A and B are shown apart, each in its own frame.
Chain A
């Protein structure tokens, strides 16, 4: 439940506001349009970097649906990502190398898994839900690692297009990311979005207004799983090889969350902005602090949490300047 006092304080200094501002959406779309030009740089590394950004952004949108809009903080999104990735690998072993088929199967399987698991874990709240989802992610990793049919820890290979046509993976990821952005935008403004937010704000009160919390929580989770699964499918195809440590990497779990938080959770623009900035910061750290960049990355997270607790999107809506910002930082002091 939200503490009225906290929210009120944040409101007074301009940190509140419901999501889905058309301006934010427009900015994201413009940036997305610019990203269409990336393959023309003919630099594989730049293309891969942006493909990763789009991938993490898609996952951040996925996380945002359940964690940002519905208020259920999931640490198990990597399971859906990995499952989506393995869909590509399995299809490739069946000689089906079609990105559309990959993504379609990944979406269906990830959503089905989310619904199945959701029936159990979405009964939990708060920390318990968070831990249960973390457990789901790790358990799936462990089970896949022990399945010979999926190559065990050795993994599986996926046939790829040649270097000349490699940008097809970039565009596929771009489309998946665009799908996630548009889906988030339209869902946020729809009845569905209001059901999610109502559940986040107060599940009991939402039920009294006729919202079936269980059904809508599962819907939110299935949507978020679809996004993660689709990103995983394209990732696997572009990677050419898949094994549990890659498919279920802790990075794929934590990066999207940090990105969504940095940008602003429960917003349409936040995950994308967060993904772009975090990737940029990581890039700079890798370049200039080879030996200690992880140390700095830890420091960046600590600073973001302490100084930008509601993300950049909110910060730029702040009224009242530095003083108001400083005041917002003490809201959660014990």
Chain B
């Protein structure tokens, strides 16, 4: 079992997240994709922490989880606000801004 395979998985997760960001029109779905991105990064950190036997890298993954929570909260709040005002959750349907 080698690092390469772990990395393949994390890269795949990351790229799927990117794919989701690019294709999902629903803002909440995009939020889900962001979680995938962050997870991929977290997985990387844990892999490498394992290789280098570095506890600090693992804690970074911990912080990432916490920050992911924050992002999710803020993102959802914004989406709720938008849905209340603009009656839509589609990121590309909000069209008040002219550019």
- Real binding pair: no
Interface residues of chain A, those whose CB is within 8 Å of chain B, are none
Q: Which B residues are closer than 8 A to A by beta carbons?
A: none
